[in-house]
Structure 1
Amino acid sequence: MKVGIYISGLGQSFINESVEKYAERLKNEISFHTNGIQYEIKSEKISYAPDRFSTVVSICEKNKQNKLIYKFYDFKYHEILTEKFNNYSLIRKNLWLFLLVIRKFPIIIKRLFKSESYNHPFQTFYIFLIFIIIASAVLLMLPATFTVINSSYEKGTIGEMVTLLKSKTGIQDIPLISKMQIKNLSRIIVSVTALLLLIIPNANVLITNLATEFICANDYMQYGVQKQLLQGNLELLVDYISENEKNCKIHFHTYSFGSILALDYIYPYGNKVSANAEVYCEAIITIGTPFEFINSYYPQFYLNRTTSFGDTVLWLNIYSIADALATNFRNDSKIGDAQFGIERSSNKPVNINYEVVTLNKKSVVDFLMLYSVKVHGMYWDNKAEGLSCLGLLYKEMKNKSLI
């Protein structure tokens, strides 16, 4: 029995993307390639651990005693990964984003001149610049912040704090920013923010989602925040499937950040691969995986991986050249066969190119409007009946006997 584990992108939780939609798209592709046969999907919810649930979607053939064609389980990780960040106040969220971008800025600047294998360093620089402007604007636009600042200046509190800081640290050249300088800085930041919100369609949603993804993904990759909990839950789900699906072979269907979780499971850091993975996992499908982005800005993340099992897994990779985050696993930005995979691994993904639009890399308008980032969400339409990258995926899965 072929079973898929669907792991969506982090941002997909904000637009109500679901395993039902993904299964519906695959069902449609199966229907397009078979004449005179009708298919349907059936859904149920199961609990694979205390307080942990998965939606199970079966694609069945009608009129043949509901013959099962393929089955999906989804892995819901969004709440686990983002629960700490979502509990932060607005000020704390923006302060965290501001400090995080400041910490990352040296390597962002470095990549402008030495991009490694990542082909969109200037777009990344622009996104990070937007992050820092937005975070600064929110912090400075809050009326309460201005009230505190004005009150502090009137009472001399800020001056007293600087004097105390000098006495405690021994540093005498700590600058004191004047009240007028803070006002001027806030006017500039607010103006730039307003301009960005005007020129970028749905900028508030796009930037908020990007910021949330970046902060939570950063904590996972940089500090291992929630990593053990996430990987433990994924192992529990695989164990549940192996115990409840007869003679199963498991395929990971992953999009964006979801592919990072699956690759972590198949190529674990410094650990032995689980027995369940070795016995039951047959393939991994990565769609729009930000592998090169991570390699460029988190160069230590994929080092020291256990590759013995991962080299035996069939890896299908769907990418778009226009997508600023997707990886083609090549040393150039061209369409073609993959040239590398995980470091020290002999397994190279089977590349599947999927393009919806052609972007002009020299277009300033496309650059400023973040079109190359928006393409990251164009592997399918929000409605399941639209065409999608799953048309190409189904053909490859059929050729590889995965379905």
Structure 2
Amino acid sequence: MPAAIYISGLGQSTNKESVEKYAARYIKELEYSTSGINHYTKVEKIYYSDDQSSLAVRIYQNSKEILKSNKDTLLYTIYDFEYNDLLIQNFQNKNILFKNITILILVIRKLPRLITSLFKKKTYTKAGQTFYMFLLFLIMAFAVVLVIPSLLGFVDGTNLTFIKNHLDSNIINMLRYLRDFSLKMLPITSLAIIFIPESSTILTKVAAEFSTIDNYIQYGEQSQIIQGNLDALIEYIVENEEKPTIHLHTYSFGSIIALDALFPIGTEPCDNILNNIKLLITVGAPYEFIDNYYPNFYTDRTDKMSKKIEWINVYSTMDAFSSNFRRDNEAKEAQYGIMGKNEVPINLNYEIARREKYNLFSFLTLKHITMHQSYWDDSKYGQSCTRLIFNKMKELKYWKIETNKIKL
């Protein structure tokens, strides 16, 4: 019996998303592909370790009239894998100043790579838009940090005599200079808040997202516990499902978590992964983004899973983060994979808007950044990339349709 693990995105990518919605979209496609059969879900909370839980969404078909059966048929079980709290737990309780300083240091550290990427369009075709995004983060972080000295207005206040008696005149002059400079920065901060899209949430959400991703990739922070928990969930599925074949459904940074499990650094995947995972689905995978700014992250990988899995990759040419695994931004077949050409994904292009080249308006409004959240609507009833995935799974015999009944 096939089972799936749904690994969502991180931070802003997960707004209003859930495994229940994800399963509901597949039910909708099942309904469109069959007639006379009803489908529904049952949700169960399971614990795969002492302190880690998962929602198991089971998809059933009601086939009493068509198949003359008194028992509904279980088609598919989708488990969610929650790693967000594990990844950001060391960061989420920090104050706004700490977050701003962190994103400021991150961007400054990556600035040489950001600049050189602008001139290497053959290897990464979306460097311009991501450079602009990081530039906005830099400006906003600078603006907030530089506003802090404005609090030094007390230098000319009622405590001026006390300050003069206890501080050197040079220090007082420096504080006054910082205060005056900070006050001059206030208009810039105000403009940033008014004109930069979603500026009220970018600093808190994006700082957490990019900083934790940077720590995960650069230093392996929390990677061991995240991969250990994923192994534990896979073990639970193997022990509790009947002869399961496991599919990984991943979105955004969730695809990086999955690739880490399938192609680990300097070690081998566990036996449960080697023997049971048959399909990888990535949606909006930021592989090329990470490979460009962290060029050593995918080196020294074990390739034992290269010929054991099939890989479906959904991407948008309008999405600045998604990867089409090509050396251009064309909607065509993939040219390479994480291990070269051993496991080239099956590319599925999904666009909700007319494909167009970069223009000044889309560039300034970060259109190609916000498109990263466009693979499905907030509503489970809206159109989404799920139909492309469902049809490809059906073509590859992961969904088998026979007359009025559907098998897995």
TM-score when normalising by structure 1: 0.90
Equivalent runs, 1:76-155 vs 2, <5 Å: 76-115=82-121, 117-142=123-148, 145-146=151-152
Q: Distance in 1 between matches of 2:335 and 2:167?
A: 62
Equivalent runs, 1:351-366 vs 2, <5 Å: 351-358=347-354, 360-366=356-362
Q: Distance in 1 between matches of 2:279 and 2:299?
A: 22
* Deviation readout 1:29-57 (Å, 9 max, x if unpaired): 11111122211111010000011000000
Contact 1:322 1:375 in 2 (8 A): yes
Q: Give 1:343 deviation, angstroms.
A: 3.2
How many equivalent pairs are there?
Answer: 388
3-state SS in 2 of match to 1:387: coil
Q: Distance in 1 between matches of 2:207 and 2:100?
A: 9
Q: Distance in 2 between matches of 1:183 and 1:147?
A: 9
3-state SS in 2 of match to 1:85: coil
Q: Residues 216 and 371 of structure 1: is their aligned pair in 2 closer, same or farther, counting only changes over 3 Å? A: same
Q: Residues 185 and 144 of structure 1: is their aligned pair in 2 closer, same or farther, counting only changes over 3 Å? A: closer
Q: 2:177 aligns with which of 175, 180, 194?
A: 180
Moved more, 372-381 or 121-130: 121-130
Contact 2:41 2:57 in 1 (8 A): yes
Contact 1:323 1:376 in 2 (8 A): yes
In the alignment, what sits opposite 1:170? none
Q: Distance in 1 between matches of 2:297 and 2:353?
A: 31
Q: Distance in 1 between matches of 2:149 and 2:141?
A: 15
In the alignment, what sits opposite 1:166? none
Query: What amino acid sits opposite 2:143 in the alignment?
Result: A
Q: Residues 63 and 224 of structure 1: is their aligned pair in 2 closer, same or farther, counting only changes over 3 Å? A: same
In the alignment, what sits opposite 1:223? 219
* Deviation readout 1:297-319 (Å, 9 max, x if unpaired): 00000001001223321000000
3-state SS in 1 of match to 2:53: strand
Query: What amino acid sits opposite 1:184 in the alignment?
Result: F
Contact 2:151 2:179 in 1 (8 A): no
Q: Distance in 2 between matches of 1:399 and 1:347?
A: 18
Contact 1:14 1:209 in 2 (8 A): no
1:250 maps to 2:256: no
In the alignment, what sits opposite 1:9? 9
Q: Distance in 2 between matches of 1:245 and 1:66?
A: 17
Q: Give 1:5 deviation, angstroms.
A: 0.2
Q: Distance in 1 between matches of 2:315 and 2:333?
A: 12
CA RMSD of aligned residues (A): 2.4
Q: Distance in 2 between matches of 1:186 and 1:27?
A: 57
Q: Give 1:321 deviation, angstroms.
A: 0.3
Q: Distance in 1 between matches of 2:94 and 2:342?
A: 42
Q: Give 1:192 deviation, angstroms.
A: 3.4
Query: What amino acid sits opposite 2:385 in the alignment?
Result: C
Equivalent runs, 1:4-403 vs 2, <5 Å: 4-11=4-11, 15-64=15-64, 65-115=71-121, 117-142=123-148, 145-146=151-152, 156=167, 179-180=176-177, 183-184=180-181, 187-188=184-185, 190-206=186-202, 208-344=204-340, 346-358=342-354, 360-403=356-399
Contact 2:283 2:315 in 1 (8 A): yes
Q: Where in structure 2 are there 5+ consecutive unaligned residues?
A: 65-70, 400-408
Query: What amino acid sits opposite 1:19 in the alignment?
Result: V
In the alignment, what sits opposite 2:403? none
Contact 2:96 2:204 in 1 (8 A): no
Q: Residues 114 and 157 of structure 1: is their aligned pair in 2 closer, same or farther, counting only changes over 3 Å? A: farther
Q: Distance in 2 between matches of 1:193 and 1:228?
A: 39
Q: Residues 370 and 149 of structure 1: is their aligned pair in 2 closer, same or farther, counting only changes over 3 Å? A: farther
In the alignment, what sits opposite 1:169? none
Q: Distance in 2 between matches of 1:277 and 1:145?
A: 55
Q: Distance in 2 between matches of 1:74 and 1:360?
A: 35
Q: Give 1:141 deviation, angstroms.
A: 3.0
Moved more, 263-272 or 144-153: 144-153
Q: Residues 19 and 82 of structure 1: is their aligned pair in 2 closer, same or farther, counting only changes over 3 Å? A: same
Identity among equivalent pairs (%): 40
3-state SS in 2 of match to 1:312: coil
In the alignment, what sits opposite 2:404? none
Q: Distance in 1 between matches of 2:177 and 2:15?
A: 42
Q: Residues 72 and 373 of structure 1: is their aligned pair in 2 closer, same or farther, counting only changes over 3 Å? A: same
Q: Give 1:147 deviation, angstroms.
A: 5.3
TM-score when normalising by structure 2: 0.89
Query: What amino acid sits opposite 1:30 in the alignment?
Result: L
